[in-house]
Chain A
């Protein structure tokens, strides 16, 4: 896709680029549902998935996306990488770049990793698969494709995001996407889990989950990292968290029967989401996973310069 060398975040995308990627993802859904799930689009392309943080679904999603488009996909995870031997992040990236891949997909616990590496890697496209509490653009594109499936367009919808907003790259990327795509965000969290001046994104902020439910078109539950919650004194206990901010059937009913349930995964059943809610007809959690593969196919295609007829 013209004018898109890397994908660092939603911040760097304009509406038409977001729409383009979502529509391209839409066109790939079919391949994933066929008996023979292979297209030649990225034949001869090399993609490295460089994951410094544990991840199963995002890494697998990128891997499947690349392989179904016939790219050669290599996975590197922190536990097997040279970083354990003291090599710096930059040297690891430079070393891999010297092997001439077309795309490096990076996940790292430090915000800004992609921007930092891109300064030093000239000829490699970098895709952000999540950097610290900064951005997670392919998740948001995935969510937008899921919403497109459900509603046609996110325009005018209200998405209520619940949980640890402070540490959430998913929340930040949604906060950046919402004004571009015309949907609205409600954030629900106690003050201990909200970043400074978050209202400046133009969202509504609630501490009371129940007050935020009426009028929500989707409730988007963030994964709770249980140790982080109690160790940082951000919340006293999982029990109290579930009571205050867990999505249970009663709350889902209050939100209404048209309200969708979303979650970027992996879910903690009984913590942020009750089992019956997770398995309910209103849940779009598995659709998100499916759309994730299609979106990553679209992103990889765009990074390799394809997909556009111009």
Chain B
């Protein structure tokens, strides 16, 4: 089976490729870029005017399976992923049961292979039951396929446990991903603490709740020599702390979610529960700091924190609503704004969603190298479309962008050489599941 992707603008940040050429796929792997001896193609995709890049990686996703399948499951999450050009994603362990022993990780991986749309790499829990007390069997979880460790949704709040987690992880080269939130400071907060929370009369989560935990963690990361990754960074102070840590040569990295560089706390005015997430949307100053962090390389990765919820969990007023928004299907168009605003050149932007997360997590993904599995995203960077929440592939319809115009649309997603998403629809065998 030979697939030819014709006339696309191929951008492969991992290999420094940035030119218009044909991309050839043979038997599920990348065969050639430009001239090829593959012979005639069985299938041709015209990618004229489009960008052809490695299938995107989203290293921060909540798939809700097992345990909360009414919010999302591996199949629906995989469909949402490929609709967003994502062919590899990491799922967080706050499922039910949690990904705190190998069986659950194996189950998730097996189910994802069965669905066959998108690679799913579990993130193992750092502590059993995510309760911040006893460490999980990280080595066993790693052997089962976990690519990093996190208690995401909950911080590893106890400084002693965090120290031991980092030391243990460092001994075996594992990375710890922290949801940095000092709960003693954020309390029952629902949105950013500041002028907006004051006007709405809603309890706030101060920026210092995020910053203070990251400051502590960086000191512990230095002490232990561990690889420490800050999930969904959202404040000016946190970006500065990571910048300083990296300046000192520590193995500290971070990711930003599109909502944190696309929106501010003003999005919750009017008590909009679809703009409620943790960490919350912050101020314009914080938003600009996140963008600056992406520009200067302090922030390596864009990841969505895709957090699908059922309507019932959101339709109960701002203070009671669940935290989180869906992100897989809006990651690319929202991130492309950074190119249009000249914050990042296209190859650097795409690196944040391809080779950068692949490097952090040791994934064989995020590249168009010859011989690599042919996971490919083709998108029209200028195409305008209007987001309709009802048309999302995710079960979660909780997005603040309903009815808004997006610029940039995925036209095709190819998984291991097979087109799985084409012009708005899931195609191939998976379409009949």
Interface residues of A (CB under 8 A from B): 88-90, 110-113, 115-116, 131-135, 169, 172, 195-198, 200
- B contact residues around A169 at 8 Å (CB): 201
Residue of A110, A135, A172 most packed against chain B (CB within 10 A):
A110
Q: Would A113 and B198 count as touching, CB distance under 8 A?
A: no
Residue from B195, B204, B270, B317 in contact with A110 in the complex, judged by beta carbons closer than 8 Å? B317
How distant is the Cα of A111 from the Cα of B196 in the complex, in angstroms? 13
How distant is the Cα of A149 from the Cα of B191 in the complex, in angstroms? 40
Residue from A90, A110, A172 in contact with B315 in the complex, judged by beta carbons closer than 8 Å? A90
- A contact residues around B320 at 8 Å (CB): 110
B145 located at the interface, meaning its Cβ lies under 8 Å from any Cβ of chain A in the complex: no
Q: Would A116 and B201 count as touching, CB distance under 8 A?
A: no
Q: Would B316 and A90 count as touching, CB distance under 8 A?
A: yes
Chain A's closest residue to B204 (CB) is: A196
Q: Would A110 and B319 count as touching, CB distance under 8 A?
A: yes
Chain A's closest residue to B192 (CB) is: A196
How distant is the Cα of A75 from the Cα of B253 in the complex, in angstroms? 57
Residue from B193, B315, B318 in contact with A112 in the complex, judged by beta carbons closer than 8 Å? B318
Closest Cβ of chain A: how far from B108's Cβ, in Å? 32
- Which B residues, 179 to 216, have Cβ-Cβ distances below 8 Å to chain A? 193-195, 197-202, 204, 206
Chain B's closest residue to A120 (CB) is: B315
Closest Cβ of chain B: how far from A199's Cβ, in Å? 10
Q: Would B204 and A133 count as touching, CB distance under 8 A?
A: no
- B contact residues around A116 at 8 Å (CB): 271, 317-318
How distant is the Cα of A111 from the Cα of B197 in the complex, in angstroms? 10
Chain B's closest residue to A115 (CB) is: B271
Q: Would A132 and B319 count as touching, CB distance under 8 A?
A: yes
Residue from B197, B315, B319 in contact with A196 in the complex, judged by beta carbons closer than 8 Å? B197
Listed from nearest, the 9 A-B pairs whose CB atoms lie closest are A134-B201, A112-B271, A133-B201, A111-B201, A195-B198, A197-B195, A116-B317, A110-B319, A111-B202
Q: Would A196 and B200 count as touching, CB distance under 8 A?
A: no
Chain A's closest residue to B271 (CB) is: A112
Closest Cβ of chain A: how far from B318's Cβ, in Å? 5
- A contact residues around B204 at 8 Å (CB): 196
Chain A's closest residue to B198 (CB) is: A195
Residue of B194, B201, B319 most packed against chain A (CB within 10 A):
B201
- B contact residues around A200 at 8 Å (CB): 195, 198
- Which B residues, 152 to 201, have Cβ-Cβ distances below 8 Å to chain A? 193-195, 197-201
**9 other contacts beyond A113-B317, A132-B202, A197-B195, with CB at 8 A cut-off?**
A89-B316, A89-B317, A90-B315, A111-B319, A112-B318, A115-B270, A172-B198, A200-B195, A200-B198
Interface residues of B (CB under 8 A from A): 193-195, 197-202, 204, 206, 270-271, 312, 315-320
- A contact residues around B200 at 8 Å (CB): 111-112, 134
Closest Cβ of chain B: how far from A108's Cβ, in Å? 8
Chain B's closest residue to A169 (CB) is: B201
Q: Would B193 and A196 count as touching, CB distance under 8 A?
A: yes
- B contact residues around A198 at 8 Å (CB): 198
- A contact residues around B312 at 8 Å (CB): 88
Closest Cβ of chain B: how far from A3's Cβ, in Å? 19
- A contact residues around B271 at 8 Å (CB): 111-112, 115-116
How distant is the Cα of A224 from the Cα of B320 in the complex, in angstroms? 25
How distant is the Cα of A88 from the Cα of B321 in the complex, in angstroms? 12
- CB-defined A-B contacts under 8 Å, sample of 21: A88-B312, A89-B316, A89-B317, A90-B315, A111-B201, A111-B319, A112-B317, A116-B318, A131-B201, A132-B201, A132-B319, A133-B201, A134-B200, A135-B201, A172-B198, A195-B197, A195-B198, A196-B197, A196-B204, A196-B206, A197-B198
Chain B's closest residue to A133 (CB) is: B201
Residue from A88, A112, A133, A197 in contact with B194 in the complex, judged by beta carbons closer than 8 Å? A197
How distant is the Cα of A197 from the Cα of B192 in the complex, in angstroms? 12
- A contact residues around B198 at 8 Å (CB): 172, 195-198, 200
How distant is the Cα of A172 from the Cα of B195 in the complex, in angstroms? 12
Q: Would B193 and A172 count as touching, CB distance under 8 A?
A: no
How distant is the Cα of A112 from the Cα of B271 in the complex, in angstroms? 6
Closest Cβ of chain B: how far from A107's Cβ, in Å? 14
Closest Cβ of chain B: how far from A272's Cβ, in Å? 20
How distant is the Cα of A115 from the Cα of B204 in the complex, in angstroms? 19
Q: Would A112 and B202 count as touching, CB distance under 8 A?
A: yes
Residue of B317, B318, B320 most packed against chain A (CB within 10 A):
B317
Q: Would A111 and B316 count as touching, CB distance under 8 A?
A: no
Closest Cβ of chain A: how far from B364's Cβ, in Å? 47
- A contact residues around B199 at 8 Å (CB): 172
Chain B's closest residue to A232 (CB) is: B187
Chain A's closest residue to B200 (CB) is: A111
Residue from A88, A90, A172, A197 in contact with B201 in the complex, judged by beta carbons closer than 8 Å? A172
How distant is the Cα of A200 from the Cα of B198 in the complex, in angstroms? 10
Q: Would B202 and A196 count as touching, CB distance under 8 A?
A: no
Chain B's closest residue to A116 (CB) is: B317
Residue from A88, A135, A172 in contact with B316 in the complex, judged by beta carbons closer than 8 Å? A88
How distant is the Cα of A173 from the Cα of B206 in the complex, in angstroms? 23
Chain A's closest residue to B195 (CB) is: A197
How distant is the Cα of A113 from the Cα of B194 in the complex, in angstroms? 20
- B contact residues around A132 at 8 Å (CB): 201-202, 319
How distant is the Cα of A115 from the Cα of B270 in the complex, in angstroms? 7
- A contact residues around B317 at 8 Å (CB): 89, 110, 112-113, 116
- A contact residues around B206 at 8 Å (CB): 196
- B contact residues around A133 at 8 Å (CB): 201-202
Closest Cβ of chain B: how far from A189's Cβ, in Å? 13
- A contact residues around B318 at 8 Å (CB): 110-112, 116
